[in-house]
Amino acid sequence: MKSFLPLLSLAISASATAIPALEPRQTAAEVQSLPAKYFPDSQRVKIRYGPFQLPSSEQRSVIGESGTMSTIRTNLRKPCTDCGLTAAQAGLEYADGSPADVGTGAWLHHVVMLMSGTGKRDVVCPSGVLSMLGERFFSSGNERSPTMFGDVETQTLKAMYPIAAADRINMQVELMNMKPQEQTVYFTVEWEFLPKAATAGFKQTKALWMDVTNCGVSSVAPPANKQVFTLKSDAFTIPANGQMLGTAGHLHDGGVNVNVYLNDKVICDSQATYSTTTMGGMAMSDGHDGDAHIATMSGCTNIGPVKQGDKLRIEANYDLDKHAPMHNHGDSGGLAAVMGIAIMYIALD
């Protein structure tokens, strides 16, 4: 069956929804209504957030990263109120709505979206570095893969992520520019949702954010003088019974796979696949480095039940001899930071 789980990093593919043709210099709308894809009562909208100014690839941040900008935004526009999210997909575009991607030198390095409000508290890290912003519920990397909060394909397990009227959406986003010229981009999300009245009988979905840095900053420097290494998270104790909808890993270049363990048994081996093409298989622009980058991360669906007290952990494996890592620009040219993440989505019993 088709994968329905929310994957942090899956296939690099263009959005299935075409953007209307725009006249030169025309600016795309902040909110666009789109055809719904799943349940009969669903609604789908595309919301753009920004703009964001990407620095030159020759400019280094205070922590030594090249061409990157990182920011926190709060109280963002919500797609709906008193509703249930069923799907989300992140994107990056220019003012006229054209795609901003690897081919144009713009990277959606990562984004974390959080929900604040009554009952919205991060499951894994209630006192983590982003805990004041709420509960982490959606994330994306440069692959911009669709996230599903339940089985929207077969609808055998109906689940959704609830949004109350008073809830607020916050986010932490990091973007990267591979070109020496500054660029201005907008971050976008296509949200699909059901009105609250249509979610009767739906289970509530929770995201378990597993990270090799546990509750710290996700980016970590690679171990010194090691080409092959493994980064490990601590074990997290599952707080409630539920059904594991699915999971997938997130790595940076040089990564091989992320193993997800339940009670010390591997339940998912999320493998990285590399490519030298951009989204949709297009060739890189002349300004690109030409190296292969992570294009997909495999995922696992319908993993099975989980019960209160079970232990969940991950291991991220890197081999810098097999896959070239990212480097910072500038005088040092040192290795860029890496990550090891997997999000497990669970429908609570």
pLDDT at residue 1 in the model: 38
User: At residue 34, does pLDDT exceed 70?
Assistant: yes
Distance CA(227)–CA(269), nearest Å, equals: 21
User: At residue 82, does pLDDT exceed 90?
Assistant: yes
pLDDT at residue 333 in the model: 63
6 confidence band (pLDDT: 50, 70, 90): very low
Q: Is residue 14 part of a domain?
A: no
- Report the chain's C-alpha Rg in angstroms: 19
Q: Is residue 6 part of a domain?
A: no
Distance CA(64)–CA(336), nearest Å, equals: 9
Q: Is residue 3 part of a domain?
A: no
Q: Is residue 25 part of a domain?
A: no
Q: Is residue 23 part of a domain?
A: no
pLDDT at residue 64 in the model: 67
Percent of the chain with pLDDT over 90: 65
Helix or strand run (H / E) with residue 72: strand 68-76
Phi, psi angles (nearest 5°) of residue 142: -65, -15
Q: Is residue 2 part of a domain?
A: no
pLDDT at residue 101 in the model: 87
pLDDT at residue 19 in the model: 35
pLDDT at residue 284 in the model: 37
Of 32, 52, 59, 55, nearest in space to 43 by CA: 32
Distance CA(134)–CA(131), nearest Å, equals: 5
Q: Is residue 101 part of a domain?
A: yes
Distance CA(345)–CA(115), nearest Å, equals: 16
Q: Is residue 10 part of a domain?
A: no
User: At residue 17, does pLDDT exceed 70?
Assistant: no
User: At residue 112, does pLDDT exceed 90?
Assistant: yes
121-179 residue pLDDT tens:
999 999 988 889 999 999 988 878 788 898 888 888 999 999 999 999 999 999 999 99
pTM (2 decimals)? 0.83
Phi, psi angles (nearest 5°) of residue 198: -90, 0
Q: In this structure, are residues 222 and 297 in contact, taking their beta carbons and an 8 Å threshold?
A: no
Percent of the chain with pLDDT over 70: 86
Q: Up-side HSE of residue 271: CA atoms within 13 Å toward CB?
A: 2
Give the structural domain span for 146.
Answer: 31-348
pLDDT at residue 170 in the model: 98
User: At residue 295, does pLDDT exceed 90?
Assistant: no
Distance CA(247)–CA(267), nearest Å, equals: 10
User: At residue 241, does pLDDT exceed 80?
Assistant: yes
What is the tally of structural domains in the chain?
1
pLDDT at residue 71 in the model: 96
